[in-house]
Amino acid sequence: MNWYLDVLKKYAVFSGRARRKEFWMFALFNLIAIAVLATVDLLLGTFPLLYALYALGIFLPSLGVSVRRLHDTGRSGWWLLIALVPFVGGIILLVFNCTEGEQQQNAYGPNPKLAPAY
């Protein structure tokens, strides 16, 4: 749960790097939250309301963690736009998100794996 909250604390931070674990744990908790909210929305009969409010509120943190994840692999955040390419764009972005980050410091900052734990 801390991974999810840490991303929310960095609400609109697009600089720096994000580890694979941070990105994928955020994606997991986000998926769980969406499933729960969609179910509650369906039970209440207000389907797009809660889901849409959550999606709107989580848009910038999702974008921020995605950009920081690309930074960890040494790529610019503009690579997110490759997802707009039909069929292969999403697959390429998935591969980028699954790729291990650069071990050394890159143009976007130090390796987050080597950062001291607080």
Per-residue model confidence as pLDDT tens digits over 9-58: 999 999 999 999 999 999 999 999 999 999 999 999 998 899 999 999 99
Residue 34 is assigned to a structural domain of this protein: yes
Residue 115 is assigned to a structural domain of this protein: no
Residue 118 is assigned to a structural domain of this protein: no
Q: Which domain holds residue 101?
A: 2-108
Residue 87 is assigned to a structural domain of this protein: yes
CA distances from 85 to 39, 78, 91, 97 (A): 31, 13, 10, 16
Residue 20 is assigned to a structural domain of this protein: yes
Q: For the purposes of burial, counting CB atoms within 10 Å of the CB of 4, is it exposed (0-12), middle (13-18) or buried (19 or more)?
A: buried
- The answer, as to whether pTM is greater than 0.85, is yes
Residue 116 is assigned to a structural domain of this protein: no
CA distances from 99 to 34, 78, 96, 118 (A): 26, 17, 5, 26
Residue 66 is assigned to a structural domain of this protein: yes
Looking at the structure of the chain, the number of domains it has is 1
* Mean pLDDT confidence for 97-114: 94
